[in-house]
Amino acid sequence: MSPAGAPPAWAASDPYAAALRSGRGPLFLRRADGRLLPLDVERWCARADAVDRAVLARCEGAVLDVGCGPGRLVAELAAQGRTVLGVDVCEAAVTRTVTVGGQALRRSVFGPLPGEGRWGTVLLMDGNIGIGGDPPALLRRMRRLLRPGGLLMAETDPADVDERAEVRVVGHGREASGEPFPWAWTGAPALLGAAERAGWRTVAQWTAGGRCFVALRALSPRSASSSAEPPKSTAVISSQRPR
């Protein structure tokens, strides 16, 4: 993980920045084992679609889009008159977000951010639950950004996975740029389990357009402590509780 506030090594990756500027791929994450994982640049650079808008309709209060990319969600919320800010470590992403009508800052989510503890909703879309390669740590950071009882909207991997790996960004020539960085792939079962342990309550879980989403609400510290420690009478069967 990069020092607080410092963009990670891949932030200046030429293939990623070039893809955002052009609005098209191909673009991949390449794992150390050589496996290529495609990134949906064309969808990210298009306008928000019906699936996106349905997610945004659930948002409450001021919205922070973490890893906003080229800014389609920020622009859509801004067009609706909502208070919204995008943050991204890539300068090209911030520039494009501003160009399409949104507000964005070049920041790391693990560094200081405006409005900490006051956001009504935080978005982790387009696989951004993988930021930093440590979903539990990212969930803890989200709680510090949200107001008490705030809402986290996260897009999960469609598969039932819970993986972490070092990756690089590669483009058409499949030549990597920059240093490898940690990333994670988390399906809904793994994320919901981590969220329960970290003091979140599941509000909703749904699938649309082949994409999977969860909505989580931050519990108060007292509620989180109570949910983490089941009554002694049920402790002997705690391993049988649903995840």
- Sign, CA dihedral 46-48-52-56, equals positive
Average of per-residue pLDDT values in the chain = 87
Residue 163: pLDDT over 70: yes
- State how far the Cα of 121 lies from the Cα of 56, in Å rounded to an integer: 10
- State how far the Cα of 56 lies from the Cα of 76, in Å rounded to an integer: 9
Comparing 164 with 219, the larger pLDDT belongs to 164
The percent of residues above 90 in pLDDT, for the chain, comes to 77
Residue 141: pLDDT over 50: yes
Quote the longest CA-to-CA distance of the chain: 60
pLDDT for position 222: 52
In CATH terms, is domain 9-240 a member of 3.90.920.10?
A: no
Query: Could you tell me the strand order of the sheet in which 162-170 lies?
Result: 36-38, 28-31, 162-170, 176-186
- The beta strand positions in 192-232, using DSSP E, are 200-208, 211-218
pLDDT digit string (tens) for 87-127?
999 999 999 999 999 999 999 999 999 999 999 999 999 99
Residue 224: pLDDT over 70: no
- Domain segments of the chain as ranges: 9-240
CB count within 10 Å of CB 13 equals 23
